[in-house]
Amino acid sequence: MSDNKVKPVSAVTENADTCCSRRQWLKGALGASALGIIGGAGLAGVPGISFAQALSKEERDKLTPDEVIRMLQEGNKRFRTGKMEEQDYLAQKRSSVSGQYPAAAILSCIDSRTPAEILLDQGIGDVFNARVAGNICSDDILGSLEFACAAAGSKVVLVMGHTACGAVKGAIDGVEMGNLTGLLDHIEPAIKATEYEGERSSENPEFVDRVVVTNVRRTMDEIRRRSQVLSGLEKEGKIKIVGSLYHLNDGRLEMLA
């Protein structure tokens, strides 16, 4: 994929009929008898009912990569409409002690306003979350993502950038400070690769967000190029590597075309 042009982005589907809880997803995938709802918990999404079970191996393995992506999108819709599931974290902690079976691995920014599990309405044991300023790809990040997918069975790698990213602004400004200098060097190629006719400045929000999108796509390309493990799994259809842009202003997760 070329870095020379930022392609249009497509928004998350807004059809209310498609919005359902993770428990409803799993009910459709496994059948009600296989859900194993524990304790006093019922179906998630029902007001006043907590979701008290971590994702099981059977539940996770029944999901396709596309279903996992849609599950994350719908979790984000619940977040931004104030209809989040009532998570019972202590119960999820107890049910996941013997094993973890996350459906996705998320590479997101360290920004305090972008905690992926909350933004996507996921509980303990649902997703792996790697966070680093500017959601860049390093050897350690690659190894972590390989573990998540090849060893632990996650179906999706989601690279999540966000609007008004401070790391991107710092790279645009050429900030130099200790180890941060080397980190921002990873983002610098995305600045050059971003086609933009307006003011190419960190003070221009539109340009910053364009670079953010380019940086996300470059990270996706780098994951495929540098990891034969992950690129091989994607070619076999076992996982999908996708990108997204989280909007700080309205809480929307925008999937990149």
- The verdict on residue 214 lying in a domain is yes
For helices 228-235 and 205-226, angle between their N-to-C axes, nearest 10 degrees: 90
pLDDT score recorded for residue 54: 85
- The verdict on residue 248 lying in a domain is yes
Report the domain count for the chain.
Answer: 1
Contacts of 250 (CB under 8 A, 6+ apart): 80
- The verdict on residue 8 lying in a domain is no
Q: What is the pLDDT of residues 126-140, one digit of tens each?
A: 999 999 999 999 999
pLDDT score recorded for residue 11: 39
Q: What is the pLDDT of residues 63-91, one digit of tens each?
A: 999 999 999 999 999 999 999 998 888 98
- The verdict on residue 4 lying in a domain is no
Binning pLDDT at 50, 70 and 90, where does residue 26 land? low
Binning pLDDT at 50, 70 and 90, where does residue 51 land? low
- The verdict on residue 203 lying in a domain is yes
pLDDT score recorded for residue 87: 87
Whether pTM exceeds 0.85:
no
Mean pLDDT of 188-192: 98
Mean pLDDT of 222-229: 98
Residue (of 153, 145, 62, 73) closest to 106 by Cα position: 145
Domain holding 177, by residue range, is 16-255
The CATH number covering residue 86 comes to: 3.40.1050.10
pLDDT at 58 over 80: yes
- The verdict on residue 20 lying in a domain is yes
If you average pLDDT over every residue of the chain, what do you get?
85
- The verdict on residue 131 lying in a domain is yes
Look at residue 238 and give its three-state secondary structure.
Answer: coil
pLDDT at 253 over 70: yes
- The verdict on residue 3 lying in a domain is no
